[in-house]
Amino acid sequence: MVKPLIKKGLEYVVDTLGNKIGALPSTTKSLAEYSDIIEQGVRLDTADAYKNLFHVDTEFAKGYGGELKSGSLKYGSDNMPPSLTDKELIDAQNEIKGLTQDYLKDLPDDLTVYRYGGLDNETGVSSFTLNPNYSVDSNLPWQKRLQSPMQTFKVKKEDVLASPDINSFFGGGRGFDEQEIIISNDKVGALPDTSYRIQHTPNPEGARLDDMTGGGEIFPDDIYSSQGLRYYGNPNNISDRESFEIIQKVRGDPDAEVVIYRAVPNQDSIDTINSGDFVTLSRDYAESHGQSGYGIDGQEAGKILTQKVKVKDLFSEGNDLNEFGYFPQE
């Protein structure tokens, strides 16, 4: 959740912790003072209008720039428009970067940015969000399906190439919800990753492991029947079988001990399962989530943390037999 704060003629977007994460111009610039590239970028009205102008393949970037400049990306064309010249491409990149730096001028020189999944190695430039509370669930459902962790990076503001939100400088233009900025991959440095903890957060009000029905609010009683695994999981899935066996075994025994597992980035500084973390009863499930999705390019494997805990410390939201929130009660 973000909220506006008006200050000195600019509207800043701040996160729920009060951190300033972007600036929305309260005054407009005239499109007449800028190139056709900017005018058509505003008219195209998409968050990725400028990114391909910084593509590592300059011939591709010039071809894309010609299409953007001609308006054919929005309106179509029977003929392929001419590509930009080398000079036109450089001028367009400088113009976009200048507007972007103006847009970000009130932010600190060193920025922390966030991204789900690995860097975009095909284009050589990647998109990041300035918003630490950016919701992958509503905005990047494909990354949620891929279980891509949110990673944290450190960049210099001067290295930011573009932001689609520069369109909000102009009448008829607008900002976008993503708080997106675009940076060359070679200007990005990874930070020690703690954001993996907040990619989705468990609910402590779920059903405790010793009573998966949650008093009739979460799972029906038949989760404990002989058909429970078939109703709420997959008998052919190793992870589901491992978790279901433990669920059955500890029913009505809150003080029993079980082993929990959690996939995390493979960093020495991460060695603890914390209160409020999602965990699993299945080693197979944790290992499948730890196979990839970590590191600066999203291709590195994570590691598995294990811990013995009380049954009464684990709570299910009823979405998956393998996922529990860890909330120690003592």
- Domain boundaries defined on the chain: 3-196, 201-326
Start-to-end CA distance of the chain, whole Å, equals: 32
Q: What parts of the chain have a pLDDT lower than 70?
A: 1-27, 134-150, 190-201, 293-299
| pLDDT of 198 | 41
Token output for 224: 């404990």
In this structure, what are the phi and psi dihedrals at residue 243, rounded to the nearest 5 degrees?
-70, -45
pTM score > 0.75 for this model? no
Beta strands in 185-316 (DSSP E): 189-190, 207-208, 257-264, 278-279, 303-310, 314-316
| pLDDT of 103 | 93
Token pair 């900025």 in the structure block, residue: 181
Sign of CA dihedral 261, 265, 266, 267: negative
| pLDDT of 254 | 95
How far is it, in rounded angstroms, from Cα 272 to Cα 287?
Answer: 17
| Residue 123 bridge partners (DSSP) | none
Token output for 248: 């059955």
Please count the residues of the chain. Answer: 330
| pLDDT of 25 | 55
How far is it, in rounded angstroms, from Cα 225 to Cα 217?
Answer: 17
How far is it, in rounded angstroms, from Cα 186 to Cα 153?
Answer: 12
| Residue 7 bridge partners (DSSP) | 10
CA dihedral 22, 184, 61, 168 (to 10 degrees): 0
| pLDDT of 107 | 92
